[in-house]
Structure 1
């Protein structure tokens, strides 16, 4: 039985439920905001312990990366991401999740060909394009400072 593209599209529309876009956006906003609030609270706490603002924000960043990786290892962050969507994937904790998840998945293939080779399969392109964009931005800024 040959199915045309139009018929296939109609069948797919019938079988595919509509996504609750507003609900997903609210969850993402609240989750991302909560993660950022925790990060700001950590910065404030580190400042109370005597760290300067820059050092406190660096310590909070390191703590958030650790917590993201740790919760990924406990399979808690993946459950959070299932409901929160981009709200949990965009902050720095999402980057930690993107590094740890493939490492956990491929650890059975060994430390070099499994864990080491696959660890940056998701996060690698983010690093490449992020670093490239920062270099280009730096060059543009340097050129404008010359004039």
Structure 2
């Protein structure tokens, strides 16, 4: 009897669960992700006009500016609204990584700088950092081995 009740309960849940609109969500993610990238390109172009930078060296200041803007937008609550609207389009760029760190830091700031902000800021993004470092090492090692085999 309990399995029948569980099956009926699951059937009732499916009736009332909202169905995601995948097409609309994909378009929103594309537009928000594209807007973030467009903003980065615009900042790069402005820095190329204003400062003695080359195409190769403009990336670091542009990324620093994007990270700063994302942290500021997270602090005033705008990035959460952008993430709600754009979904993965706001999550995937480096600004999403910044948002994850800044929101965790803001959430735990009442516990102090060390035990609150510094400790909890990396809980959510620590796995991303570790994975990025390990994969970068493996890709670099693979490239080195391939170059040694070729030459």
Normalised to the residue count of structure 1, the TM-score between the two structures is: 0.95
Stretches of 4+ moved more than 4 A in 1? Answer: none
1:59 aligns with 2:70: no
Residue aligning to 2:23: 22
Partner Cα separation in structure 2 for residue 125 and residue 27 of structure 1: 27
Where in structure 2 are the equivalents of 1:60-79 lying within 5 Å? Answer: 60-79=62-81
**Structure 1 regions of 5+ residues with no counterpart?**
none
Whether 1:12 aligns to 2:21 is no
Give the counterpart of 1:82 among 76, 81, 84: 84
- CA shift, 1:129, in A, is 0.3
1:71–1:60 Cα change, 3 Å: same
Partner of 1:2: 2
Matching of residues 101-120 of structure 1 within 5 Å: 101-120=103-122
Indicate the SS of the match to 2:106.
helix
Paired residues, what number?
Answer: 147
Deviations for 1:24-81, whole angstroms, at most 9, x for unmatched residues? 1100000000000110111111111221112212111110000000100111101110
Q: SS of the residue aligned with 2:122?
A: coil
- Name stretches of at least 5 consecutive residues in structure 2 with no aligned partner: none
Over the residues paired in the alignment, what is the CA RMSD in angstroms?
A: 1.3
* CA shift digits 1:93-130 (9 cap, x unpaired): 11110110100001111111111100011111110001
Q: TM-score, normalised by structure 2?
A: 0.92
State how far apart, in whole Å, the 1-side matches of 2:53 and 2:45 are.
Answer: 9
- Please give the residue correspondences for 1:112-131 in structure 2 after superposition, counting only pairs within 5 Å: 112-131=114-133
